[in-house]
Structure 1
């Protein structure tokens, strides 16, 4: 007898789809390098330095004893802030921010090692990666939690206007009923027959 499979949790397949996760990693990694390249090119043009791919992919350029190294470190820190915005837009789930942030830096480690033909041995580079991952994770988690905890509106203004309109109509009907109680004709509650309400003075005179 075949064992019955447990039904999947709603949304589990969509959240844990390998194709979706892979596409999100690719998009985030491209955005990570694109923003860093823009910042590096802009800074190099202002400083009058030669633009090279080593500034983007080589770990040897990140050194703590040169001005270029500290400038590149500041650029990568700013890039981590920008990447947190992309995580908010593409991921939007606080529990997944740490995984994607570490994946981005892991891929960057692999790309840097392949480009430089060596694993990074510069302590400044490793310290910068830890700082960048920390900033990206903390800011991404805060932004995603802020988005998740935002109140959901279900057409509150329209409901209030409809309620106010119904209340106004109800008060108008009540006024009409109140005026009819003074004097006039009406029908009984059972709908049978008509009655005429007579004032007290008229009733006294008729008696």
Structure 2
């Protein structure tokens, strides 16, 4: 008899819904973090902050603050992995998928491949999001299962 504990059932509809949900979380919270950064430096909001390669740079204060928003966004997306994906072994898959679709969007928006600073920021964000998401999910998966040791009167 085969055990069904932690069995994985192939459900493409669930996977697609989770991908869409993680993309929504990614862009919603990135927008909120960038709005917070913009309010600190009284900068105007623009789609360039999300999709343009030139915004992410070490030379300007706006570029460094935008990088900080991307890093903070990876932390909030790790919480999204914990709440909605709930499987440690799938965290890296969903993290790379979210950032891959972001790269495609940036590529379409800019019409050329990303700059070095964009790659550095996104690789750091992928690492943070995947590792923290996996840590949170594994902590939940490995939580002790309570066993009732009280008297068994209804045998």
**Count of residue pairs brought into register by the alignment:** 150
Q: How does 1:23-34 map to 2 (within 5 A)?
A: 23-34=17-28
Q: How does 1:30-109 map to 2 (within 5 A)?
A: 30-109=24-103
Q: CA RMSD in A?
A: 1.9
Aligned to 2:146: 153
1-side partners of 2:8 and 2:141: how far apart? 18
Cα deviation, residue 51, structure 1 = 1.1
Q: Which runs of 4+ in 1 moved over 4 A?
A: none
1-side partners of 2:112 and 2:42: how far apart? 29
1-side partners of 2:38 and 2:74: how far apart? 19
Q: Once the two structures are superposed, what CA deviation does each residue of 1:163-201 show, in whole Å capped at 9, x if it has no partner? A: 6xx7xxxxxxxxxxxxxxxxxxxxxxxxxxxxxxxxxxx
Cα deviation, residue 58, structure 1 = 1.4
Unmatched runs of 5 consecutive residues or more in structure 1: 1-8, 167-207
Aligned to 2:113: 119
Pick one of 8, 12, 26 that aligns with 1:12: 8
Q: 1:135 aligns to what SS in structure 2?
A: helix
Cα deviation, residue 59, structure 1 = 1.7
Aligned to 1:128: 121
1-side partners of 2:113 and 2:21: how far apart? 25
Cα deviation, residue 42, structure 1 = 1.6
Unmatched runs of 5 consecutive residues or more in structure 2: none
2-side partners of 1:43 and 1:102: how far apart? 25
> Greater relative contact order (Cα 8 A, min sep 6): structure 1 or 2?
2
